[in-house]
Chain A
Amino acid sequence: MTATTASPEQQEQGWRSGPRAAIQARTLRKDRWWAEPTITGVVLVSFIAYSTWAAFKNADYYAHPYLSPFYSPCLATICESARAGSQVVHAPTVGLFGPWWVISPAIIVLIVPLGFRMSCYYYRKAYYRALWQSPPACAVAEPHKRYRGESRFPLILHNAHRYFFYLGLLFNGILTWDAIEGFHFSNGWGMGFGSLMLTVNAILLWTYSLSCHSCRHIVGGRLKHFSRHPLRFKAWGFVSKLNAHHMRFAWVSLIFVALTDLYVRLVASGWVHDPRFF
């Protein structure tokens, strides 16, 4: 190895180190480079705050036939007597977790969407820049003295992203079922505003999942010979087109899943009357 190795003093100084041009400013950029990480950080923190509050609320997550995406699938029997405003309702449940599970059932399942988004190649960029400032923007020095990136624990765990993708597909299937059930009222099939919310939410989650970089790799990216696998090549081409919009799908689906939860919450608590179209 012949690459330059810095002395400890140089390492302390980071970007000002060694035989580089002596420029002391952290950056010479004059544009509003701070705007993007600031906006990203505000939206991310707002979502984290809202979803944490909603997940721990353990109430107002079911208004027949609408189930909040934060609480689906409900794996605890506690959902059989879910609080909705001043009432107690029977939310659909699989009941893997018995009466001993007394805290919010959302905690059981949120690990999947949380892990999927935390290890997502787009969100990694977003929060590394906005929250960890590593770097805050291009050609703007980061504040950290040491950096090892994703080469060791814990960030090396991001390599498990594909497993969260697989689980995410399962959840998308469940949320699609929830969306279909959202048209199934006690007096028969119909459509309310909540039915549309759940449907759009499921579609957006599918677009986010199918545009994922791991999905792109799995459907065909790992191949060396596209010409020998024409179907997978076509699938790869389709996912590649979606993948170009992954950031957009990531934001839209993130915001919409929170809005869907909020809508179900408002209907369940009695603050909003769900308009029925038929």
Chain B
Amino acid sequence: MSYDLKLRIWRGDANGGQLRDYVVQAEEGQVVLDAVHRTQATQANDLAVRWNCKAGKCGSCSAEVNGMPRLMCMTRLSTFEPGETITITPLRTFPVIRDLVTDVSFNYERARQVPPFTPTAKQPKAPFTMFQADVERSQEFRKCIECWLCQNTCHVVRDHEENKAAFAGPRFFIRYAELDMHPNDALDRKDYVQDEQGLGYCNITKCCTEVCPEHIKITDNAIIPMKERVADVKYDPLVRFLGRRSRRNGPESLKDWAPGAHHHA
């Protein structure tokens, strides 16, 4: 059954823009991205929208729907009240290119700054034989589709542009956690993630977890464990005194490492 759907879509670029109203035909069972495509096909041929898989796995169609960061392809129209106007805007944390498309290169710059997986010389060469118990923590983090919804929602950079210079964001904190929990990784990134990547800026208000389309428990399973690991080596005199720093296989030195000098693992 088709019906008329009211949309309000932000149109514009870095020089300015505005919300424009559209009424498009929608079908039962459709998602927001379908409605955007219908708008593009019938009324706004020049509407810019980034999308790819339409299955919630590529992370391309991130936008804000009624103010909440979401994947448009995973947001069903049936979740809205009949007759409700749905407002669609681009991610607010990143520079807009046009309409619903933003420049998310901040995230790729941060990705290049992650010191990659580094086995010690003592380790056997990959593929490693590993127990499931040792890898299942990291497997949760590998579900990340890099849609940047967590990066966009995090108030540290969303509300404070100046913090982008000091803060890597939740997506990369799960990457640092994944590497720090990896049994065969020897590089100690704890000082680096705290001092250079801004882990301390996070005040664990959990919006990253709330918007994650992969339902990764970013705060509970990655950021807080990383904060605790950082506390072990930087702030806990007892752990330091007892020499419990988890550097039994290392540390490899980070001092000669420069962002972009290695391939991203």
Query: Which residues of A line the B interface, CB within 8 A?
Result: 1-6, 10-11, 14-15, 17-23, 27-31, 121, 124-125, 128-129, 134-135, 138-142, 144, 146-152, 155-156, 159-162, 213-214, 216-217, 221-227, 233, 243-244
Contact = CB atoms under 8 A, between A and B. Distances in A.
Contacts of A243: 220
A217 B90 contact: no
Contacts of A28: 64, 66-67, 87, 89
A138 B96 contact: no
Contacts of B89: 21, 23, 28
A18 B95 contact: yes
Contacts of A121: 204, 224
Contact of B201 (A23, A148, A213, A244): A148
Given A146-B160, A149-B202, A222 B228 contact: yes
B153 interface: yes
A3 B210 contact: no
A20 B96 contact: yes
Interface in B215-250: 220, 224-225, 227-232, 234-236, 244, 246
Nearest to A159: B235
A159 B95 contact: no
B17 A22 contact: yes
Contacts of A138: 68-69, 153, 207, 210-211
Given A162-B231, A221-B225, 5 more contacts: A4-B165, A19-B14, A121-B224, A217-B224, A217-B225
Interface of B: 10, 12, 14, 16-18, 64, 66-69, 87, 89-90, 92-96, 102-103, 106, 109-110, 131, 133-134, 153, 155-156, 158-165, 180-183, 198, 200-207, 210-211, 220, 224-225, 227-232, 234-236, 244, 246
Nearest to A13: B161
A225 B123 CA distance: 14
B129 to A, nearest CB: 11
A1 B165 contact: yes
Looking at chain B's contact residues, the main secondary structure is: mixed
Contact of A17 (B161, B228, B234, B244): B161
A221 B228 contact: yes
A23 B133 contact: no
Contacts of A149: 156, 200-203
B161 A11 contact: yes
Contacts of A222: 228-229, 232, 244, 246
Contacts of A11: 160-162
A14 B92 CA distance: 11
Contacts of B155: 134-135, 141-142, 147
A233 B95 CA distance: 44
Contacts of A14: 159-161
Contacts of A151: 198, 200-201
Contacts of A22: 12, 16-18
A202 to B, nearest CB: 26
Given A19-B96, A22-B12, A213-B224, A4 B106 contact: yes
B161 A217 contact: no
In order of increasing CB-CB distance, the 8 nearest A-B pairs are A151-B200, A28-B67, A29-B67, A138-B207, A227-B131, A217-B228, A19-B95, A149-B201
Nearest to A142: B159
Contacts of B236: 159, 162
Contacts of A27: 67
Contact of A152 (B14, B200, B228): B200
A6 B207 contact: no
A206 B156 CA distance: 34
B205 A135 contact: yes
